Amino acid sequence: MRTRQPNSSNPSGRGNPTREQRQGFFWLGVMLALVAAAAALPGAITRGAAGAALPPPDTLLPAVPPHAPSAQHIPFRKQRFSLEMNSADTLDWQQLRGIGHAFSNRIVAYRSRLGGFYAKEQLLEVYGFTDSLYAAILPSLRLDTSLLRPIHINTIVLDSLKRHPYVDYYQAKAIVAYRQRYGNYRSPSDLLRVNLIDTATLVRLKPYLSFQ
């Protein structure tokens, strides 16, 4: 039986790394090199090519105003409230600052007697309405005059006509009596023939008059 001779360069047969050991040493060296490079990287970034110090990374971003709203936090803007004067109910009127329960009832009741508003300024005819309150709510008001309820001057009876805010009892009685005596009215100017009707009264009544 032949015996294995030890290597002449290494008589003891020990000390030479195996192939697996050499590969392990290689990869360990690679890892140590990568760690060293990563540790040196921040310093290299913050310095220029000539070794001059660069500003911190945060200062390289575009400047943002301190109070600029974020795109994710844009405040919701409530749409301006708009009220149509001839169709709004009492609850709608109460949405306006300065108009409470009693005031809204007063407005709607007066509008009913008129037959609707043909001008926004007619609100000032409501008892207790002030110029300052009118100016405050004016931007929120809109008006649809097609909703006016007409006065059929050739058929209306005395009890209905005398309830209109622009006609008192004696004027209403004179209008009906003149019609019964001389026949139907054909135009607004015919009302000026009634003794108690003047031009100012006719101007206020004219938007409501119907001669059908």
pLDDT of 29: 75
In the structure encoding, which two tokens stand for residue 79, read together?
């749409």
In the structure encoding, which two tokens stand for residue 46, read together?
């913050």
32-67 b/e (C-beta count within 10 Å ≥ 16 → b): eeeeeeeeeeeeeeeeeeeeeeeeeeeeeeeeeeee
Q: Is 89 helix (H, G, I), strand (E, B) or coil?
A: coil
Q: Which fold has domain 151-210?
A: DNA polymerase; domain 1 (1.10.150)
Class of domain 83-147: mainly alpha
182-198 b/e (C-beta count within 10 Å ≥ 16 → b): eeebeeeebbeebeebe
pLDDT bracket for residue 11 (50, 70, 90): very low
Q: Mean pLDDT over residues 145-161, rounded?
A: 97
39 has pLDDT over 70: no
pLDDT bracket for residue 14 (50, 70, 90): low
- Answer yes or no: same fold for 83-147 and 151-210: yes
Q: Mean pLDDT over residues 136-160, rounded?
A: 97
> Among residues 183, 189, 182, 180, which one has the least CA distance to residue 209?
189
Point out the least confidently predicted range of 20-29, 32-41, 55-64, 184-193.
55-64
Question: What is the C-alpha to C-alpha distance for residues 211 and 21, in angstroms, rounded to an integer?
Answer: 117
Q: Mean pLDDT over residues 134-156, rounded?
A: 97
> pLDDT tens digit string along 119-130?
999 999 999 999
pLDDT of 1: 47
51 has pLDDT over 80: no
pLDDT of 28: 75
pLDDT of 78: 45
76 has pLDDT over 80: no
% pLDDT > 70, the chain: 71
pLDDT of 79: 55
pLDDT bracket for residue 41 (50, 70, 90): low
In the structure encoding, which two tokens stand for residue 156, read together?
């209306």
pLDDT bracket for residue 181 (50, 70, 90): very high
Q: Are 202 and 191 in contact (CB under 8 A)?
A: yes
Question: What is the C-alpha to C-alpha distance for residues 171 and 194, in angstroms, rounded to an integer?
Answer: 8
- pTM here is 0.62
Question: What is the C-alpha to C-alpha distance for residues 131 and 117, in angstroms, rounded to an integer?
Answer: 17
Q: Where are the domains positioned within the chain?
A: 83-147, 151-210
